[in-house]
């Protein structure tokens, strides 16, 4: 299956002033506003689902970045930890940007709570679905369980020497750098609210539930070649990858 190339858009604003001057806070605010609006519109206007086939399944090569369910219903955006907690307590599907910063959406997409994953209206785009924990495991088997994480992580963007584990075991530094041989292009999109070390890990939901409070998720770490499976609180916000139906 051919891999769809992501669309890259560059905008240039050419209006050099006759003299150099310091940018005012208003100019910075306007620039940030323009970037934020562009971020919100791009997924709608230029959305193209890039994918790669590994074994029997086709996987998306970018984190999910939608703000509506498949039927068009909007998903609640949370902008603080209090809003995140409230959405979970009310069992409302919700999403957020990493660190609640819209600019992070350009790189990492959106993070979702379990209620969005499990909603019958469908979080994944038409023709796609959220993978089960077994399908995540089978993906790792296809790539080699001991090195699957390394083969899926991007070559760039991951931190070195920032985790407690690396400080205790310094010989692991640099030994698990991503190669992205698989084409999965996993970036350190982390999770919310457990974001402890920047650019050190990535978390993705599976569609497999454990109990009323937990569901299975997979974890990529900067210091590990393999992929870990965890039982994760449904109140957390994690990244999402999809498989083709």
Compute the average pLDDT of residues 85-109. 95
User: Helix, strand or coil for residue 147?
Assistant: coil
For residue range 197-238, list pLDDT tens digits in order.
678 899 999 999 999 999 999 999 988 899 999 999 999 999
Report whether pLDDT(3) > 50.
no
pLDDT, position 238: 97
pLDDT, position 91: 96
Find, among 127, 110, 114, 102, the residue nearest to 68 by Cα: 110
Say what the pTM is. 0.77
| Torsion angle of the four alpha carbons 234, 238, 243, 244, in this order, in degrees rounded to the nearest 10 | 90
Find, among 76, 112, 104, 106, the residue nearest to 92 by Cα: 76
For residue range 147-203, list pLDDT tens digits in order.
999 999 999 999 875 555 555 555 555 578 899 999 999 999 999 987 666 788 999
Find, among 156, 147, 149, 242, the residue nearest to 199 by Cα: 156
pLDDT, position 9: 32
What separation in angstroms does the CA of 72 have from each of 68, 69, 124?
5, 5, 12
Q: How far apart are CA 173 and CA 178, in angstroms?
A: 12
pLDDT, position 164: 55
Judge whether 121 and 73 are in contact, CB under 8 Å.
yes
Q: Please provide the average confidence, as pLDDT, over all residues in the chain.
A: 83
Model confidence band, residue 75 (pLDDT cutoffs 50, 70, 90): very high
Phi-psi region of 78 (alpha: psi -120 to 50; beta: other; left: phi over 0): beta
Report DSSP state, residue 172: G
Report whether pLDDT(102) > 60.
yes
pLDDT, position 223: 84
């Amino acid at each position: 299956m051919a891999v769809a190339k992501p669309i890259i858009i560059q905008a240039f604003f050419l209006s050099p002033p006759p003299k150099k001057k310091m940018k005012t806070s208003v100019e910075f605010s306007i620039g940030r506003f323009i970037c934020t609006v562009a971020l919100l519109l791009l997924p709608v206007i230029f959305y193209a689902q890039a994918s790669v086939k590994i074994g029997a399944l086709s996987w998306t090569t970018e984190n999910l970045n939608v703000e509506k369910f498949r039927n068009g219903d909007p998903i609640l955006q949370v902008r603080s930890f209090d809003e995140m907690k409230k959405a979970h307590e009310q069992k409302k599907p919700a999403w957020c940007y990493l660190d609640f910063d819209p600019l992070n959406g350009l790189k990492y997409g959106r993070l979702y709570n379990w209620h969005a994953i499990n909603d019958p209206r469908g979080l994944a785009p038409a023709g796609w679905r959220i993978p089960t924990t077994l399908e995540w495991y089978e993906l790792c088997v296809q790539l080699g369980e001991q090195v699957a994480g390394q083969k899926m992580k991007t070559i760039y963007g991951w931190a070195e020497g920032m985790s407690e584990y690396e400080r205790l075991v310094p010989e692991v530094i640099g030994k698990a750098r991503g190669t992205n041989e698989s084409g999965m292009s996993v970036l350190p999109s982390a999770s919310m609210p457990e974001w402890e070390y920047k650019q050190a890990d990535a978390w993705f939901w599976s569609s497999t539930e454990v109990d009323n409070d937990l569901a299975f998720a997979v974890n990529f770490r900067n210091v590990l070649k393999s992929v870990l499976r965890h039982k994760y609180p449904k109140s957390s916000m994690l990244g999402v990858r999809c498989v083709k139906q």
